[in-house]
Amino acid sequence: MSKKQILLINDMAGYGKVATAAMLPILSYFGHPVYNLPTALVSNTLDYGKFNILETTDYIKGVFPVWKELGFRFDSIATGFIASERQARLVSAYCREQAALGTTVFVDPIMGDEGKLYNGVTPSAINSMREMIGVADLCFPNFTESCYLTDSPYRPEGVTAEEGRRLLDKLRTIGTRSALITSIPVDGQPSVIGYDAGGGDYFALPYTEIPVHFPGTGDIFSAILIGHLLGGEPLVESTQKAMDGVYQLIDRNKENEDKNRGIPVEKFLGIL
């Protein structure tokens, strides 16, 4: 199968392997031509507590007309961190326009984890991400983000299988065709749950948690998932391979001294 051109619309960190810096080498290793449009320039991963962010909305506004004039097209677009509602309107309009021409849109609504928003992320981000999910072929929020997006209560103990399906259905009412929810306890078992619009099937994939935190593991999951999907593999199998890849990368790096830098993915591409 021929390789697919993919555009990453995500932030770029100067120090640390997260977002575009984590996804680009993985998707390139899969053989897909990768392009990028930064939504923000970030000094370092937010886990350090201090950071500087430059939003790039005005830059993006000038990019789309140039690309249109030059006739640039992408087989797929993957969006991540969106810096503002204004930026979300610009990016979602572009994604909708490209989707009408056959482009597949993947949305990772990056906002928070463990029941709260990330450092530096404001409540207005919720509306921005709803805007993005409205144009998605597949979205993959974590449990916290899915609760914010659907106005559902977050419970640290998680959900039942039936509650998980209802949460997926609420995401679908926002507009996405297929959906995953990552890092969600289902009946006490850490899992990734999903709905595949292709076959109309719900599924749940349990995993074993390694009690170590690295920023960027969600971006790594996204890149491996998308890499397999663009290779023509089904959603369930692609999701499992992404879970397995993240597990291996965390396991091999769990003794790293400075975990705030994220995982140095280039050293481990061979295991993916």
Closest CA to 223 of 241, 196, 250: 241
Average pLDDT over residues 236-244: 98
Contact 181, 142 (CB under 8 A): yes
What tens digit of pLDDT does each residue of 13-27 get?
Answer: 999 999 999 999 999
CB atoms < 10 A from the CB of 118, how many?
17
Answer whether residue 173 shows pLDDT above 80: yes
Domains of the chain: 6-271 (3.40.1190.20)
Confidence tier at 272 by pLDDT (50, 70, 90)? confident
CA distances from 228 to 110, 134, 151, 205 (A): 21, 23, 31, 17
Could you give the CA distance from residue 40 to residue 47 in angstroms, rounded to a whole number?
Answer: 17
Average pLDDT over residues 120-141: 92
What tens digit of pLDDT does each residue of 183-195 get?
Answer: 999 999 999 999 9
Confidence tier at 122 by pLDDT (50, 70, 90)? confident
Task: Please give the pLDDT value at position 197.
Answer: 98
Could you give the CA distance from residue 41 to residue 52 in angstroms, rounded to a whole number?
Answer: 8
- 7: three-class secondary structure by DSSP: strand
Could you give the CA distance from residue 178 to residue 201 in angstroms, rounded to a whole number?
Answer: 10
Task: Please give the pLDDT value at position 118.
Answer: 87
